[in-house]
Chain A
């Protein structure tokens, strides 16, 4: 049985021009790991550590330079269509057509996954209710909704298509504590109710520890460690996950690297 995600020696560089000079930025540097079906893995890293690049490669939005990445045995480049049917994503920016309503945004997005109007008429109100979105606001333009409500619609958009692999790229960044807790609780409930594998990229140590079975530390495009939170604390002889991160990377979590992608 193939892994849900299997990444081997994955590399990605970006070239930036600064005047006449070309600068190479390493986004992923030989990243290898595997995620079992139904598992939740969190990847911790600063801005620019390569988290979003990893999510984009797995969601077929970026072509990597070297190595390989497979989702349920499908190569993300050669079998991109098969991968797309299995994956959905929630990113830090709840990207929508802002003048369109939550219902309209969900409706057209669901069509792209082959869901007919007869299905979405029932499913959209149900899933909005499930994520705690007030259904009375379902026809209001997205631009009139709070950031927390927009992020709930983003979760609903991803879950409407029943993804087998859910990629969460800082899904709670910028949310108020209440919205953050609601979103985290919903992620837990999805894991309990469905056979969904989750890759969670986050800044939030507590979120990683609370939601994930294993936690990875990504720094400068290199995966330094991937283990349970408890094992990481032991390995780095650190009382907290944040301390473990500090020891592993050699710098404080708040420091940022230059963002590659």
Chain B
């Protein structure tokens, strides 16, 4: 148990070194994320300028929450998926996979780092864009929003474990498939629009997406000041999804790992 706790620290330590060593790249990606978020959040002002009627401030804030969750999910998936792809490219993956580090600890460690780093980056993104638009959230319940995001993150890490195996199964295109998974998850979850504007079949899929509950609950907490009681209808499905997602993600990763070990795909080629 002690050895596995130390090993988990090792996963977090390694990813911290990587962020430090690629500091300027991290800054460049942060600037890109800010620019990308601005292009989305400006939509509310654009609709008003072209004669549409809407509560611009509320819609701006709603779009900001969608963009921020998109960015957060991107970071969590990137840490989980890209790290495996990166390790394969550097050739270190064989050393990681032959270490006495349980796969659960390995992936949970990467997920934990992804969540912590994602929270920091996302909080900074939220603050920068809110300042840019002069948005104020006087009644927001950030504590409830944070609790909801933390619970949702368990499911996000579970889904991320599934995408993390893709670079091993398909070394050339696997990492990109992670981005597809991120997009698919968010498109059915009402990232910039209410879920009920989608066709019925998409709404049905939305009910099993953790992002649906994360987006709805966080909007309720930040825009309407909803407390934990008010967002309970979003919290309990996330708790159930979280309990299912981690074991399911681990099982899929282990199956993919067995496939890679059977076919010799752990090894870097080229």
CA distance A15 to B265 in the complex (A): 12
CA distance A58 to B266 in the complex (A): 15
What class of interface size applies to chain B in its complex with A? 20 to 34
Q: A59-B98, A89-B98, A112-B96 are in contact. Are A14 and B14 (CB under 8 A)?
A: no
- Residues from chain A with Cβ under 8 Å of B6 in the complex: 111, 114-116
Q: A62-B264, A99-B21, A116-B6 are in contact. Are A81 and B100 (CB under 8 A)?
A: yes
CA distance A62 to B98 in the complex (A): 10
Number of interchain pairs (Cβ within 8 Å): 103
Q: Quick one: CB contact mask for B95-111 with A, threshold 8 Å, 1 for yes?
A: 11111111000000000
CA distance A2 to B9 in the complex (A): 34
Q: A59-B98, A95-B94 are in contact. Are A114 and B18 (CB under 8 A)?
A: no
Q: Which residues of B contact A (CB under 8 A)?
A: 2-4, 6-7, 9-11, 13-14, 17-18, 21-22, 90-92, 94-102, 258, 261-264, 266-268
Is A157 an interface position by the 8 A CB rule? yes
Partner among B3, B14, B95, B96 whose Cβ is within 8 Å of the Cβ of A114: B3
- Residues from chain A with Cβ under 8 Å of B3 in the complex: 113-114
Inter-chain contact A61/B10, CB cutoff 8 Å: no
Smallest Cβ-Cβ distance to A89: which chain B residue? B98
Is A202 an interface position by the 8 A CB rule? no
3 nearest A-B residue pairs (beta carbon):
A111-B10, A114-B3, A95-B91
Partner among B4, B90, B261, B264 whose Cβ is within 8 Å of the Cβ of A95: B90
Inter-chain contact B7/A97, CB cutoff 8 Å: no
Q: Quick one: CB contact mask for A43-68 with B, threshold 8 Å, 1 for yes?
A: 00000000001001001111100000
CA distance A113 to B22 in the complex (A): 26
Inter-chain contact B98/A141, CB cutoff 8 Å: no
CA distance A14 to B262 in the complex (A): 9
What class of interface size applies to chain A in its complex with B? 35 or more
Inter-chain contact A56/B267, CB cutoff 8 Å: yes
Inter-chain contact A84/B91, CB cutoff 8 Å: no
Inter-chain contact A96/B96, CB cutoff 8 Å: no
Is A224 an interface position by the 8 A CB rule? no
CA distance A95 to B94 in the complex (A): 9
CA distance A91 to B22 in the complex (A): 27
Q: Quick one: CB contact mask for A75-96 with B, threshold 8 Å, 1 for yes?
A: 0000001001101110101011
Q: Show 25 A/B contacts (Cβ-Cβ < 8 Å), sorted by A.
A: A61-B98, A62-B261, A62-B264, A87-B98, A89-B95, A89-B98, A96-B92, A97-B17, A97-B18, A97-B90, A99-B21, A100-B14, A107-B13, A108-B10, A108-B11, A108-B13, A108-B14, A110-B10, A111-B9, A111-B13, A112-B7, A112-B99, A113-B3, A113-B100, A114-B4
CA distance A59 to B93 in the complex (A): 13
Is A109 an interface position by the 8 A CB rule? yes
Q: Which of B92, B98, B101 has the most CB of A within 10 A?
A: B98
Partner among A60, A96, A110, A260 whose Cβ is within 8 Å of the Cβ of B98: A60
